[in-house]
Amino acid sequence: MSFYDKVYEVVKEIPKGRVMTYGQIAAMLGSPRASRAVGYALHFNPRQGEIPCHRVVNRFGHLAEAYVFGGIDVQKKLLEKEGIELTDYTVDLKKFGF
């Protein structure tokens, strides 16, 4: 299984109403320094479908401009629908124990 496939397997497991950072996903894959590669896999070379990529944020809690997944406004609406509050396109990571 490729790194790319592994990233998507982790993302599919993110529970509704929860977010994860690129760094957390990279650490789960055993490559803690690969957060940039995770971001690339999800947002610059994405796989379309029912994958909850809107639940992935950078280390500051900012939404990425994943235009392929409907853009940043669509991602914000999806997160808010799941009960995740955002301020200026930023998730308060402290609420998730970061």
Secondary structure (DSSP) of 45-73:
S---SS--GGGEE-TTSBPP--GGGTHHH
pLDDT band at 82, cuts 50/70/90? very high
Cα distances from 76 to residues 1, 2, 30, 57, in angstroms, run 31, 29, 29, 11
Query: Could you confirm whether 52 is annotated as catalytic?
Result: no
What domains, with CATH codes, occur in the chain?
3-96 (1.10.10.10)
pTM of the predicted protein model: 0.84
**Tokens coding 30:** 């055993």
14-51: pLDDT as tens digits: 999 999 999 999 999 998 889 989 988 887 666 767 78
Residue from 14, 41, 53, 79 carrying the catalytic annotation: 53
What is the C-alpha separation between 30 and 33, in angstroms, rounded? 9
How crowded is residue 36: how many other Cβ atoms within 10 Å of its Cβ?
Answer: 12
CA angle 56, 62, 67 (to 5 degrees): 70
